[in-house]
Amino acid sequence: MAEHENEIKGATFTLSVLHITDAHPDNIRQLLASKVAQAPHFFNCAPLVLNVEKLESVPDFAQLRELIEAEEFILVGITGASSEAMKIAAKTAGIAVMTSGKGKRTEVLPSKSVKATEPPPLVPTRVHVGPVRSGQQIYAAGTSLVVLGSVSPGAEVIADDSIHIYGTLRGRALAGARGNQQARIYCQQLAAELLSIAGTFQLSDALPPGLILRPVHVRLDNEQLRIDSIK
């Protein structure tokens, strides 16, 4: 009989977290709808974690789940639940209760010996020559992306490593798509709809006015995007 290789392993994922201070449905619906309107492709069916740390009372989790999913998000679970009553209410509504992961990690090693594997081969940088037009998506899997042209509004460039744009960035740029927090974004002129590095994102309305249409360098700094001018 063939040996089954199914197993459960730990993994790290990048998820958006919605921090709420009140659970009024209209407030949450308005916030989610505004974010989706600014970047519909980015947020479509996006996994979402609800941080309830600042809530003073137990909300109607079933109602929250319904309105979150109505805005095309997928509620993965909640975090920050301080009381047992809140945890029970979430579980009753079929919502996972997640921990922050700050404790010590215990790793179970396989009992059988595992043959050492060679490191994966290097993936050459993907180079796209010409503009990236509206509705077009360019993805550099396992490597960096260089765009020799501009990225139009409604276009999307994605890379597992860094993104270099030799032109104007008017669409969306998502670097570190698989969680690489050391990834960077460079462009000659900034006018982006959305910037994202390892899941930490910033929309157009939060871009520094003084850096619009300027050459910039974007990186993660203390879990926030930092945008610096390239002089």
Per-residue model confidence as pLDDT tens digits over 138-189? 999 999 999 999 999 989 999 999 999 999 999 999 999 888 999 999 999 9
CA 23 to each of CA 18, 56, 63: distance values in angstroms, whole numbers, following the listed order: 11, 10, 10
pLDDT at residue 7, rounded to an integer? 74
Q: How far apart are CA 26 and CA 221, in angstroms?
A: 33
pLDDT at residue 38, rounded to an integer: 72
pLDDT digits (tens, 9 = 90+) for 85-136: 988 999 998 898 887 554 444 344 443 444 555 666 678 999 999 999 998 9
Do the domains at 16-97 and 126-229 have one common CATH topology? Answer: no
Residue 165's nearest CA partner among 144, 181, 179 is: 144
Q: Note the pLDDT of residue 117.
A: 56
Among 13-17, 122-126, 203-207, 212-216, which is the least confidently predicted range?
A: 13-17
Return d(Cα 139, Cα 128) in angstroms, integer.
Answer: 10
pLDDT of residue 111: 39
Give the β-pairing of 126-129 and 145-148. parallel
Pairwise CA distance, residues 52 & 54, whole Å = 6
Which residues, other chains included, contact 175 with Cβ-Cβ below 8 Å and sequence gap of 6+? 158, 159, 161, 162, 163, 183, 184, 185, 196, 197, 198, 218
For 126-229, the fitting CATH number among 2.160.20.70, 3.40.50.10140, 2.40.30.10, 1.20.140.10 is 2.160.20.70
Which of the two residues, 99 and 226, has the higher pLDDT score?
226
- What's the confidence (pLDDT) of residue 36? 79
Domain 16-97 in CATH 3.40.50.1000: no
Dist. CA 107–CA 202, nearest whole Å? 34
Structural domain spans, the chain:
16-97, 126-229
